Structure formats: structure tokens, C-alpha cells
A = this chain, B = another copy of it.
Amino acid sequence: MTGTAVRRSEPRRVTEAQVVDAAMWLLDMGGPAAASIRRIAAAMDVAPQAVYTYFPDTASVGRAVVERLIGEVVAATEPGTDAKSWQDDLEALALRVSRRFADHPGTVPLVVAGSTGGPNERRLAGRVRELLTAAGLDAADADWGTYLIGVYVLGAATRPDSEARFVWGLRRLLAGLCVPLGANPYW
């Protein structure tokens, strides 16, 4: 009751960001198996339990790592900067995501494990949807097209190949998105 805050506890020895830092570093060094809770804690010089103060389980640490990775891509992509065409914008965005995963192959199992459910993932999907909408697709098509592109980037991350192959597939896919299916002779 002094009016000023009572010092309630020791200053934090770890933070969420540091856990993600350590996890990423271990992932880059030793692959998915190296990023265990115990090793993350050891890298931060705390007991394994300390991690559980900030994350409820291993999977949530993985999701946080993916959120950061996606966040970096979204932050690096100012909307409408490249802007030659929506295809170019979309290609640049997909390529940025693809490269980020190629640079951090240890994170791929974490990505395919499932959606993070986080804001950065939503922002990224929103960006794709905007570009498809600006391209003239209606809301439903833009939504389904976002799924199509996301799934392609995800699948490609699990079978890394040349960038040329990735871009070739992406362009075919975008071509398919803007061809009205009614105008297609096959159905």
C-alpha cells in the first residue's frame, strides 16, 4: 500500500521471444529433432520446466516459430510495392515464403503439422486474398484460390526442388485461376 508497485518477483530470466530464438537456432543447427524442450531450455541455461511458464507444450513452441517465420515474410512485403501485375505480386510473395522455408528446412515439419491459428498466418492469407480479389475474382473464388496457393507452397516446402520448378508450377496455377472454367473446353 505504498502507492508504488511492489516488486513481486525476480526479473524474468527468459521470454517468449528468447524461447523462439533458441528453438530457431537449434532447428537451423540440428534439424527438427534438435529443437526439444530440454535442449531449448539448456540453450537458455534454465531448467526444462521454465519453458512451460510461457508455452503449454512442445507443439505451441513450434507454432510460435512458424508464426515468427511467416511474420518476417509479411513484414518484408509491402503491399503493392512491386505492382507490375497481381501475378507478379503473388509470385513474389509466394517465392518469399518458399525461400524462407528453404532457408530454414528444419521448420518444415512444424509448418505441415498444422495451422498456427495465429495473426501472421491470417495476415498472409489475407494478403493473398486481397491480391486475388484485386485480380477480379469474386469472394468465393478468392477464398478457394487462397487455399490452392497455400497448399501448393506448403507441399512444395516438403519436396524442395529448383526455384524454376516452383515458379513454373506457380505460374501454371495462377494461369488456371484466371481462366474461367466455363470457357475451358474440358468441362
What is A's interface to B at a CB cutoff of 8 Å?
A: 85, 87, 108-109, 112-115, 144-145, 147-148, 150-156, 158-159, 161, 165, 168-169, 171-179, 181, 184, 186-187
Query: Which of A109, A152, A181 gathers most chain B CB within 10 Å?
Result: A152
Given contacts A154-B155, A171-B181, contact A161 B147 (CB under 8 A): yes
Measured in the bound complex, the distance between the Cα atoms of B145 and A168 in whole Å is 9
Chain A interface SS verdict (over half): helix
A106 to chain B, nearest CB (A): 13
Contacts A172-B176, A175-B184 known; 5 new A-B pairs at CB < 8 A: A87-B187, A115-B159, A154-B154, A158-B158, A179-B179
Decide if B152 touches A159 in the complex (CB within 8 Å). Answer: no
Contacts of A109 in B (CB 8 A): 109, 112-113
Contacts of A154 in B (CB 8 A): 154-155, 158-159
Contacts of A144 in B (CB 8 A): 165, 168-169
Measured in the bound complex, the distance between the Cα atoms of B186 and A178 in whole Å is 10
* Chain B, Cβ-Cβ closest to A185: B178
A75 to chain B, nearest CB (A): 24
Contacts of A171 in B (CB 8 A): 176, 181, 187
